[in-house]
C-alpha cells in the first residue's frame, strides 16, 4: 500500500513547476558562499575545506529549511484544495501510508537537493580555480546532512499537514533555522531538530563538529524522525477529515 501511495504522490507531482525552485534557489547560497570565500581569502586558507564552510553557511543555515517547507506546504496544499482530502482518506490505503507516501517524496527531494548543492560546490570550486577535488569528508558531510535534513522535512510535513496555510509553516521554518543556528553553536545542538542538518553538514566549520559525538547525532536524528512520524500519523488517525 505504501508503494501505491508513493506512486500516487509521484503522479500528483506531474506537471508541477516546484522543481524550478529546487534548481534555482540553491544556486543563490552557492554564489553567496563563493563570493564570501573570495572576499576573505586571507583568513580562509584551506581551499576546498574553506569553500565548504562558506557555501554550507548560507545553504544550511538559511536556505534548506524554508525550501523544504515550501515543498511540504505544496504537497498538502494539493490535498487541501478541491476537497482532495475526502478522496485521499476514502481511498483503501492505511492512514499511515498516506503520510509516509508524502514523506518519501520529500526524502527524495531532500536527497536531490543535497546532491545538487554538492555538485554546485564542486562547480564553484573549479570556477575559482581550486586545485584537484575536495576530500571525501565533504561528501560524507553531505550524506549526514541528508539525515539531518530528513528530520526537518518530517517536521515541516507535519506542520503543513496540521496548519492549513501555505505561508505559516514556511515562517516556522525560518524561525527554526535561526534558532537552529543558535542551538548548533551551543552544546545542545544535537537535541534541537532544526540544528541537526547544520551539524550534519558541518556548516561553517573546518574541523568536524561531530567528532567523537557522532552517535548522539545519529540517535537524536532517528529519535526525532520516528517521534515526528508517529505523532503525525496519530493526529491523522484521530482527527476528523475536513476538506
Binding site for other proteins (CB under 8 A): 4-5, 7-8, 11-12, 14-16, 78, 81-95, 237-238, 240-241, 243
- Report, in Å, the least distance between residue 226 CB and other proteins: 20
Helix boundaries (H) for the chain: 2-12, 18-24, 27-39, 48-58, 64-80, 84-89, 95-127, 136-162, 168-184, 193-201, 214-238
- Report, in Å, the least distance between residue 126 CB and other proteins: 38
The span from the CA of 47 to the CA of 225, in Å, is 35
The span from the CA of 61 to the CA of 75, in Å, is 23
In terms of CB distance, is 86 or 126 closer to other proteins? Answer: 86
In terms of CB distance, is 35 or 85 closer to other proteins? Answer: 85
- Report, in Å, the least distance between residue 114 CB and other proteins: 27
In terms of CB distance, is 77 or 108 closer to other proteins? Answer: 77
**Which residues lie closer than 8 Å to 115 by C-beta, 6 or more apart?**
142
Closest alpha carbon to 74 in 24, 118, 109? 109
Residue 231 C-alpha from the chain's centroid:
19
- Report, in Å, the least distance between residue 13 CB and other proteins: 10
The span from the CA of 184 to the CA of 190, in Å, is 7
The span from the CA of 217 to the CA of 58, in Å, is 21
In terms of CB distance, is 63 or 103 closer to other proteins? Answer: 103
- Report, in Å, the least distance between residue 236 CB and other proteins: 11
In terms of CB distance, is 211 or 242 closer to other proteins? Answer: 242
- Report, in Å, the least distance between residue 95 CB and other proteins: 7
In terms of CB distance, is 82 or 206 closer to other proteins? Answer: 82
Amino acid at each position: 500500500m505504501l508503494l501505491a501511495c508513493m506512486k500516487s504522490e509521484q503522479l500528483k507531482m506531474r506537471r508541477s513547476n516546484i522543481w524550478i525552485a529546487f534548481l534555482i534557489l540553491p544556486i543563490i547560497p552557492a554564489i553567496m558562499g563563493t563570493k564570501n570565500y573570495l572576499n576573505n581569502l586571507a583568513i580562509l586558507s584551506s581551499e576546498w575545506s574553506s569553500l565548504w564552510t562558506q557555501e554550507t553557511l548560507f545553504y544550511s543555515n538559511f536556505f534548506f529549511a524554508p525550501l523544504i517547507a515550501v515543498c511540504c506546504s505544496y504537497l498538502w496544499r494539493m490535498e487541501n484544495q478541491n476537497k482532495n482530502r475526502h478522496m485521499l482518506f476514502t481511498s483503501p490505503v492505511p492512514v499511515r501510508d498516506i503520510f509516509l507516501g508524502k514523506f518519501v517524496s520529500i526524502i527524495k527531494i531532500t536527497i536531490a537537493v543535497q546532491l545538487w548543492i554538492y555538485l554546485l560546490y564542486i562547480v564553484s570550486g573549479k570556477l575559482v580555480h581550486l586545485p584537484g577535488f575536495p576530500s571525501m569528508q565533504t561528501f560524507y558531510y553531505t550524506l549526514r546532512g541528508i539525515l539531518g535534513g530528513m528530520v526537518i522535512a518530517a517536521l515541516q510535513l507535519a506542520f503543513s499537514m496540521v496548519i492549513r496555510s501555505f505561508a505559516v509553516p514556511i515562517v516556522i521554518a525560518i524561525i527554526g533555522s535561526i534558532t537552529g543556528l543558535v542551538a548548533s553553536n551551543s552544546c545542545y545542538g544535537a537535541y534541537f531538530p532544526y540544528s541537526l542538518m547544520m551539524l550534519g553538514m558541518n556548516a561553517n566549520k573546518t574541523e568536524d563538529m561531530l567528532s567523537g559525538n557522532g552517535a548522539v547525532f545519529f540517535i537524536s536524528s532517528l529519535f526525532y524522525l520516528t517521534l515526528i512520524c508517529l505523532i503525525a500519523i496519530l493526529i491523522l488517525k484521530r482527527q476528523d477529515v475536513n476538506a
